[in-house]
Structure 1
Amino acid sequence: MLYLQPMAQQGYPVYHIAGLGTFQPDVLVQPFAPYIDMHHKLHVPHRHSFYHMVYFTAGSGCHTIDFHRFEVRPFQLYAMIPGQVHHWDFRGNVDGYVLNFTASFFQSFLLRPDYLEEFAFFRGQAQQAVLDIPVSMRTGVTALFDEMVSLASSLDTLRIDQLRVRALTLFLELATLQEPAKPAPLSYNATLLRNFQKLVDKHFASLRLPKDYAALLYITPNHLNAICSDLLGQSAGEVIRERIILEAKRLLVNPELSVAAVADTLNFKDNSYFTKFFKKYTRTTPEAFRKALTADFG
Structure 2
Amino acid sequence: MPEGDSVFRTARMLHSALAGRELTTAELRVPAHATAELTGRQVLEVLPRGKHLLTRIEGGLTLHTHLRMDGRWQTYGSSERWGGGPAWQIRAVLGNAQHTAVGYRLPVVELLRTGEEQRAVGHLGPDLLGPDWDADRALQRLSADPGRPLALALLDQRNLAGIGNVYANELCFLAGAGPWTPFGEVARPDRVVALAHRLLGLNRLRSGHITTGDARADRRHWVYRRAGQPCRRCGTRIARSTIGAPPQDRIVFWCPRCQPGDALSRRTEHSPETV
TM-score > 0.5 by shorter chain: no
Greater fraction of residues in helix: 1
TM-score (norm 2): 0.29
Structure with greater contact order relative to length (CA < 8 Å, sep ≥ 6)? 2
